[in-house]
């Protein structure tokens, strides 16, 4: 059985270059999980200009499949883990709390 992290699951729903996205990026640690939702899924694209900076944070980046489809994301960066709603629930179970950044 896996242990529950005392670090929150970070859920980013605004653009990566938004004020919230930049605040989140500045405080990320390697053991953090980030779930990209809504507008934030644009970051998942292999050609997004900011993806390398997010990958360099060491955080594990996840993107909600339904939002990837809605935003027309085709080719994902190899560091992005695509997840469905059941995967979001599994991620949630591994964290004591969730923080929504929007």
Residue 3 has a pLDDT of: 85
Number of domains forming the structure of the chain:
1
- 59-74 pLDDT, tens per residue? 999 999 999 999 998 8
Residue 4 lies in a domain: no
DSSP-derived secondary structure for 14-68: S-TTSHHHHHHHHH--TT-EEEE-GGGGGGGBTT-TTHHHHHHTTPEEEEEHHHH
Residue 2 has a pLDDT of: 62
- 20-47 pLDDT, tens per residue? 999 999 999 999 999 999 999 999 999 9
Residue 2 lies in a domain: no
Residue 69 lies in a domain: yes
Q: What is the CATH number of the domain that holds 42?
A: 3.40.1260.10
Residue 6 lies in a domain: no
Residue 74 has a pLDDT of: 84
């Amino acid at each position: 059985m896996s242990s529950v992290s005392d670090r929150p699951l970070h859920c980013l729903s605004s653009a990566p270059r938004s004020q919230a996205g930049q605040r989140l990026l500045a405080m990320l640690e390697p053991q953090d999980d980030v779930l990209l939702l809504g507008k934030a899924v644009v970051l998942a694209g292999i050609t997004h200009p900011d993806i390398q900076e997010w990958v360099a944070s060491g955080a594990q980046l996840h993107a909600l499949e339904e939002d990837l489809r809605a935003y027309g994301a085709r080719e994902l960066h190899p560091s992005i883990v695509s997840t469905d709603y059941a995967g979001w629930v599994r991620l949630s179970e591994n964290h004591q709390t969730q923080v929504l950044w929007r």
